[in-house]
């Protein structure tokens, strides 16, 4: 059985699957990175991704356009993040508690709305999926072609967001201001910069990205919406930000590790290896716990992360 796994074509298939699996995690983690760099800890990613997946599916089904579904998912994520921001930035409600409430809201509302929308049919209709968009010439390259250059458009977008977010945070003036908001918001306030507006924009951007991650799950890979289909990816995205030390390129590396483990366990189940499938399913999450234990001693979090800012 292990000989089957080590076959070149199987390894390429696992690597290509890991890139696809990384897509929603990367969207959510990069959005959360920007929010946390501004000093806001959004624990509601799971619920936001779930609602993004649902509204993306519903909009795509109703309009017949997958891109309308993607847009609807992004808008849903942004709106949910805006509501979260009102609670934690304006009203100063505890951020972790509010995030947990958003998760419960996303899980309950998406399930209720799904049943209400398709109560007459009794089943969830299947919609078309985004097809692969191979890059001319590059997709024909041996090994790396099928892995990197024969993916879906949303996957390319997610990976292009890594250098874009890095450039924004570390090479632009506004990115410096965002990072300052997470380190010393009082310094910004003294200079006349609105910390509240800055954190609102960062959190809403994070919600939009999480919504896009949710859209990939429904209109990009599953062809329908299933309750709780995020399956902990929102939580995993938060862990990825920590494991990646709040830096885009390290977050990419952490995302690929977790995605590869997920793809590997799926392949191991497929070839019938004699290991209980529950252990295989645990692999990415055990790795996440180990990453938290390793990174615990290397605190690189923004100094004011999770601390509401109040003008004196």
Listed residue (1, 31, 49, 86) closest to 225, CA to CA: 49
CATH topology classification for 2-124+132-295: ABC transporter involved in vitamin B12 uptake, BtuC (1.10.3470)
Which of 137-141, 253-257, 294-298 is least confident?
A: 294-298
Those residues whose C-beta lies under 8 Å from the C-beta of residue 206, and which sit 6 or more positions away, are: 31, 32, 33, 34, 35, 42, 45, 81
CA dist 187 and 181 (Å) reads: 8
Q: Residue range 268-280: average pLDDT?
A: 63
CA dist 226 and 147 (Å) reads: 28
User: How sure is the predictor about 262, in pLDDT bands with cuts at 50, 70 and 90?
Assistant: confident
pLDDT tens digits, one per residue of 46-56 = 999 999 999 99
CA dist 26 and 216 (Å) reads: 11
How would DSSP label each residue in 218-260? IIIIISS--TTTTTTHHHHHHHHHHHTTT-HHHHHHHHHHHHH
What does pLDDT average to over the chain? 88
Q: What is the phi-psi region of residue 272: left when phi exceeds 0, alpha when psi lies from -120 to 50, beta otherwise?
A: left
Angle of helix 277-295 relative to helix 233-243, nearest 10 degrees, comes to 40
Give the tokens for residue 256.
Answer: 């690929």
Give the tokens for residue 250.
Answer: 């390290």
pLDDT tens digits, one per residue of 185-235 = 999 999 989 999 999 999 999 999 999 999 999 998 888 899 999 988 999
Q: Residue range 244-273: average pLDDT?
A: 83
pTM (whole model) above 0.75? yes
Residue 310: exposure state from Cβ atoms within 10 A (0-12, 13-18, ≥19) = exposed
CA dist 241 and 36 (Å) reads: 9
pLDDT tens digits, one per residue of 108-120 = 999 999 999 887 7
CB 50 within 8 A of CB 229: yes
Sequence ranges of the domains in the chain = 2-124+132-295
* % the chain with pLDDT above 90: 62
CB 219 within 8 A of CB 130: yes
User: How sure is the predictor about 7, in pLDDT bands with cuts at 50, 70 and 90?
Assistant: low
H helix runs in 86-143, sequence order: 95-117
Q: Residue range 77-100: average pLDDT?
A: 95
Q: Residue range 30-59: average pLDDT?
A: 96
């Amino acid at each position: 059985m292990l000989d089957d796994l080590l076959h070149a074509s199987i390894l390429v298939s696992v690597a290509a699957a890991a890139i696809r699996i990384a897509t929603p995690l990367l969207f959510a983690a990069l959005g959360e990175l920007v929010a946390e760099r501004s000093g806001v800890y959004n624990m509601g990613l799971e619920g936001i991704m779930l609602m993004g997946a649902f509204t993306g599916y519903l909009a795509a089904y109703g309009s017949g356009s997958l891109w309308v579904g993607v847009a609807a998912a992004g808008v849903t994520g942004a709106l949910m993040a805006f509501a979260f921001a009102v609670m934690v930035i304006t009203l100063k409600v505890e951020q972790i508690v509010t995030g947990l409430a958003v998760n419960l809201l996303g899980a309950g509302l998406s399930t209720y709305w799904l049943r209400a929308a398709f109560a007459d049919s009794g089943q969830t209709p299947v919609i078309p999926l985004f097809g692969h968009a191979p890059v001319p010439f590059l997709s024909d390259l041996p090994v790396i072609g099928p892995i990197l250059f024969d993916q879906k458009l949303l996957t390319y977008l997610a990976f292009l967001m890594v250098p874009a977010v890095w450039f924004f945070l570390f090479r632009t003036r506004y990115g410096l201001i965002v990072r300052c908001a997470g380190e010393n918001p009082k310094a910004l306030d003294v200079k006349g910069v609105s910390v509240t507006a800055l954190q609102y924009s960062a959190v809403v951007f994070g919600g939009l990205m999480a919504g896009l991650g949710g859209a990939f799950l429904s209109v990009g890979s599953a062809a329908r919406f299933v309750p709780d289909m995020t399956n902990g990816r929102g939580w995993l995205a938060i862990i990825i930000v920590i494991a990646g030390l709040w830096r885009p390129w390290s977050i990419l590396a952490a995302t690929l590790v977790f995605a590869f483990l997920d793809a590997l366990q799926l392949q191991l189940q497929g070839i019938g290896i004699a290991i209980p499938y529950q252990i295989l399913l645990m692999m990415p999450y055990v790795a996440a716990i180990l990453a938290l234990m390793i990174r615990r001693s290397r605190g690189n979090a923004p100094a004011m992360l999770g601390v509401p800012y109040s003008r004196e």
